[in-house]
Amino acid sequence: MYYISYNNFKKILFLFGKTCYLGYNKGMKADVLIVGGGPAGLTAGIFLCRAGLNAIMFEKLAIGGQAGLSYKIANYPGFETISGFELTERMHKHAESFGLKTEMSEVTSVSKTKTGFSVKTKNGSFFAPKVILACGCAPRKLNLQNEKKFLGKGVSFCASCDGNFFKNKQVAVVGGGETAIEDVDYLSKIASQIYLINHNNKFYAAESEVERIKKYKNLQIILNANIVKYIGDKNLEQIEIEIKNKKQILSVNGVFVAIGSEPNLNFLKFDIKRDKKGYIVVDANMQTSEKNLYACGDVISKTFRQVVNACAEGATAANACIGKK
């Protein structure tokens, strides 16, 4: 097991992508274009290329997406623990071995054409009769000064992903919606102490669920409060919170930010069916409301967001693209 910092991870993958993958002919055509290089997109690439289709995958930042930033993944079958970097790097090599092409650049638009779709990047335009959107979502952050410093070192956006690394430790959950309540529920069996920090005195989850978690002996609910500072050396050690203009220090090893997320779909130039939160609605084959446009991974409307089901959805979308072939 090895560790690579968030900043170095981005730098290595960016440079690697720049030197190895850029330079395809502008206006290049393919059988399928995949937008997003996380587990869903990588798995789709494996299945498409293994079936003999010509597929190109686009990734704007680093191969692996959000999963690639996880310090440890402990719930992916076949690996007791593995870094997100290593797991997604293996997926990428697997996909490459079947011929997946990777374009390390940001997709600026996806639009419809007479025969399919056009995907534009800063490096040119690409065309295909079918497109798979595997572009994921971005968790809403607190945007504190040193939030990036403690990413993976105490600050997390997924309790079910990282909660087990805080066994018998003190943690905080930030939020007042269903996700925050679910995080508290999950962490109640792991952490010694949980602080649930809500910026006002109202919860947006079901009242029955809020009342239920109030019975947890290791939970303290703090209302009308905001985290204003992360404190620590190499790892998170404390947080400073503000309650009605009064500041207070809490000793915690982990903070789970659960204030929602947003699908990465600003580049989409036409309307498709979405749920109330903006996530894409798909059918059993991962097809969107637009024919031959598929979606998988964290960008779709669902209740469970993990690497393992993102891979399954990527395989399903690819299989639908392959069809009888």
pTM value surpassing 0.75: no
Inter-axis angle of helices 39-50 and 307-322, nearest 10: 30
Residue among 259, 270, 264, 263 at smallest CA distance from 293: 270
Provide, for the chain, the percentages of residues in helix, strand and coil under a 3-state DSSP scheme, each rounded to the nearest 5: 30, 30, 45
Structural domains of the chain in order of their starting residue, each with its CATH number: 6-138+261-322 (3.50.50.60), 141-257 (3.50.50.60)
Q: Give the chain's end-to-end CA distance (angstroms, integer).
A: 40
Residue 22: which pLDDT band, with cuts at 50, 70 and 90? very low
Residue among 230, 173, 228, 169 at smallest CA distance from 198: 173
pLDDT in tens, 132-179: 999 998 888 999 989 999 998 999 998 888 899 999 999 999 999 988
What would the two tokens of residue 305 be?
A: 């967001």
Residue pair 236/154 in contact by the 8 Å Cβ criterion: yes
Residue pair 175/258 in contact by the 8 Å Cβ criterion: yes
Q: CA 186, 256, 219 angle in degrees (round to 5)? A: 55
